[in-house]
Amino acid sequence: MGFALLLSWFLSVMSRTPYPDVFGRIGFIALVLLLTYSAAGKLKPRWLSAGAARLGAVILMAPVAALVTALVTQRGNFVAYLAKTETLVGHVFLVVLSVIFGVLFSLVAMRNERKGRERADRLQIELEKNNLERELLDARLRLLQAQIEPHFLFNTLANVEALVAAGSPNAGPVLRHLIAYLRAAMPRLSDNDATLDAELQLVRAYLELMHLRIPDRLQFTVTPVPNAATLRFPAMALLTLVENAVRHGIDPGMEGGRIDVGGQWDDASGRLTLWVSDTGAGMSETAQPGTGLTNLRSRLKAFYGPTARLDLHDVTPHGVRVELNFLPGEPP
């Protein structure tokens, strides 16, 4: 940029006055103004914008630089040089030219700089958009893969077998919970047909099964949410949170705990808050965040728009509460 500025400066002025000494003086002035331009951007006071500082400095420095060239070239004749009308007019002309071109090229340079910054910003936004799209695609792909954890499935089946062998009247209901869970957890092609009601049923089925397996360590409630039957909801979103609560909250501790699932509408804003709260082991500050939460966050935003939120809260004395907050009416 600096070189181009210098060169074009030379050429444009050269075409008007092609004398070697003028050439030298112009070159010197150009150099001084270029340095001034760069320095003003760095050393400017806080209250001044970079653009104003640069323009001001260039305008101030142009006559000074011209005067210095006059001093150097004329030396002893300096006073005579300034006294003579003809050369004085020439000098003033030189100063005016310096100011005009200095300002002109500063403006061009600043415009280029701004354009460069804008391009960098555009690239950044593009990059972020690409990342978001990739995350979403990843999330969809995972949805297509089977979600059923073999450890969970076979342990549950072993429990069902035990109930059947014992002739327990619980065997039938438990099998139905398992079937409901498996049906919901099967890979699916799209989120579009899933409702919050179906999700709450899935969560209840899962928790019933877990409660059957470890009745002394897991208690739970699933509170109905008004209007859940007609509310579109990304499949498996609550289940992911409940599975996390079991795996990281209930499983590690010998005492276990309780899991509460519920929701509340805010009438004023029309937003819905859903929560999965546990009184389990709680989260250590160094616990590696799984990809599950990050994926869920991006899926929620894709589903309900950018104002959808997923927050984690600490539960006293121990446990974690995850809240989803979104406006169901928003277009995806």
Contact residues toward other proteins (CB under 8 A) are 42-43, 124, 150-151, 153-155, 157-159, 161-163, 165-166, 212-217, 251-254, 256, 283, 285-289, 293, 309, 311-314, 316, 320-321
156-168 exposure pattern, b = at least 16 Cβ within 10 A, e = fewer: beebbeebeeeee
Q: How far is the CB of 10 from other proteins (least distance, A)?
A: 30
From the CB of 121, what's the least distance to other proteins, in Å? 9
Which is closer to other proteins, CB of 11 or CB of 254?
Answer: 254
C-alpha span between 221 and 188 (Å, rounded)? 27
Q: Smaller CB distance to other proteins: residue 50 or 179?
A: 50
Q: Which is nearer to other proteins, 138 or 197 (CB)?
A: 138
Q: Which is nearer to other proteins, 50 or 96 (CB)?
A: 50
In the bound state with other proteins, the residue whose beta carbon lies nearer, of 140 and 247, is 247
In the bound complex, what is the minimum distance in angstroms from residue 313's beta carbon to other proteins? 5
At its nearest, how many Å lie between other proteins and the CB of residue 270? Answer: 20
Q: Please tell me the distance from the alpha carbon of residue 101 to that of residue 204, in angstroms, as a whole number.
A: 76
**Residue matched to tokens 């327990």:** 168
The CA-atom distances, in angstroms, between 49 and each of 53, 108, 120 are 6, 17, 21
Which residue in 178, 207, 195 sits closest to 235, CA to CA?
A: 195
- State how far the Cα of 279 lies from the Cα of 268, in Å rounded to an integer: 30
- Kindly state the smallest distance separating residue 292's Cβ from other proteins, in Å: 12
Distance CA 137, CA 129 (A): 12
Cβ atoms of 300 and 254 closer than 8 Å: no
